[in-house]
Amino acid sequence: MKIIIDGIECEAQSGEMLLQIAKRNGIFIPTLCHSDALPGLGSCRLCIVEIEEKGHKRIVASCLYPVRSEIVVYTHSEKINFMRKNLLMLLYARAPLDDTINKLRKEYGVADDIRFSGDPDEHCILCGLCVKACEEMGSFAISTVMRGVTKKVSTPYDEPSAPCIGCASCAHVCPTDAIKVTEKNGIRTIWNKDFQLVKCERCGKPFATEEQLEYNRNKLSEKELEYEYFCEGCKKVLISGKLKEIYRDA
Ligand code: SF4
């Protein structure tokens, strides 16, 4: 089916999320809480767009909107820009010194001095992407805790969490770098827990925690287990070398 986004005709599969279709066609829609590796969350709301269907217009979150008919989409209409500006003002109030938020709020013309004041040390916008990533991993080590203005993402009772394997997936997906991970002397520290890092057998670079390798072990095929102790870069080099050998001998 064909849909029109900002005047551009785009091919869409029925049920495909609007944000994905826009991305595939090189149309930029701002978002903070979206990762291509995870299902849409719709929490930051920045990906809102205006859609027109049978003469009726409405606002939807594009990361959560499955396209089922031939709609017309406006990603930067006056109404959308106005709403995004307000959303960015609230996000700025929440995380006033965060670079990502500041870059976006300047683009949308949010003033420096707004009437809400936030904690200058706060970077978390409570989008929940880290919690989702951890859930998808199967660890369930973190969640949102408390309520209202004290709501935050944490481990149970802020203690080092037993199911946490130190994979740092939560930190990698965080749009505002709010989750602190340090790596020093072969030890990774995240969520108040220390993890011994394992070195790559080829290049010697520390690349994963013991717990991470242990966790992955049950999920890997026999072939993949051959490369268990190699970092991603070396794994690629070794696999492509092996493939070359196979082709040469064939
Ligand atoms: S580091 Fe811990 S909390 Fe973060 S995704 Fe991995 S298991 Fe979950």
178-201 pLDDT, tens digit per residue, is 999 999 999 999 999 999 999 999
Residue pair 205/198 in contact by the 8 Å Cβ criterion: no
Distance from the CA of 199 to the center of ligand 1, in angstroms? 20
What pLDDT is recorded for position 250? 64
Cα–ligand 1 centroid distance for 113 (angstroms) = 36
**If DSSP codes are grouped into helix, strand and coil, which group holds residue 4?**
strand
pLDDT tens per residue, range 136-152: 999 999 999 999 989 99
Which atom of ligand 1 has the smallest separation from the CA of 155? 3
The protein residue whose alpha carbon is closest to atom 2 in ligand 1 is: 164
Count other C-beta atoms under 10 Å from residue 2's C-beta.
Answer: 9
Among the listed residues 21, 68, 55, the one whose alpha carbon sits nearest the alpha carbon of residue 40: 21
Return left, alpha or beta for 40; rule: phi > 0 is left, psi -120 to 50 is alpha, else beta. beta
Coil vs helix vs strand at 42: coil
Instruction: For residue 190, report the distance from its CA to the centre of ligand 1, in Å.
Output: 8
Give CA–CA dist 8/126, Å, rounded. Answer: 34
pLDDT of residue 178: 97
Q: Is 133 in the pocket of ligand 1 (CB under 6 A)?
A: yes
Q: Which residue from 137, 152, 153, 192 has its CB within 8 A of the most atoms of ligand 1, so it is best to mutate?
A: 137
pLDDT in tens, 67-100: 999 999 999 999 999 999 999 999 999 999 999 9
In the chain, list all ranges with CATH 3.10.20.740.
1-125
How far apart (Å, rounded) are the C-alpha atoms in residues 80 and 160? 42
pLDDT, residue 117, reads 78
- 137 within ligand 1 shell (Cβ under 6 A): yes
User: Phi/psi at 44 (nearest 5 deg)?
Assistant: -80, -20
Percent helix, strand and coil across the chain, each to the nearest 5? 35, 20, 45
Average pLDDT over residues 203-214: 96
Distance CA 230, CA 238 (A): 9
129 close to ligand 1 (CB < 6 Angstrom): no
Given a contact cutoff of 8 angstroms between Cβ atoms, the answer to whether 238 and 227 are in contact is yes
Give the residue among 210, 206, 135, 200 at the shortest CA–CA distance from 173.
135
Tell me how far apart the alpha carbons of residues 4 and 60 are, in angstroms, rounded to a whole number: 15
CATH 3.10.310.30 fits 1-125, yes or no: no
Q: Is 19 helix (H, G, I), strand (E, B) or coil?
A: helix
Cα–Cα distances in Å, from 56 out to 44, 50, 61, 80? 25, 10, 16, 16
pLDDT in tens, 209-248: 999 999 999 888 988 899 999 999 999 999 888 767 766 7
Task: Tell me, rounded to whole angstroms, the distance of Cα 169 from its chain centroid.
Answer: 9
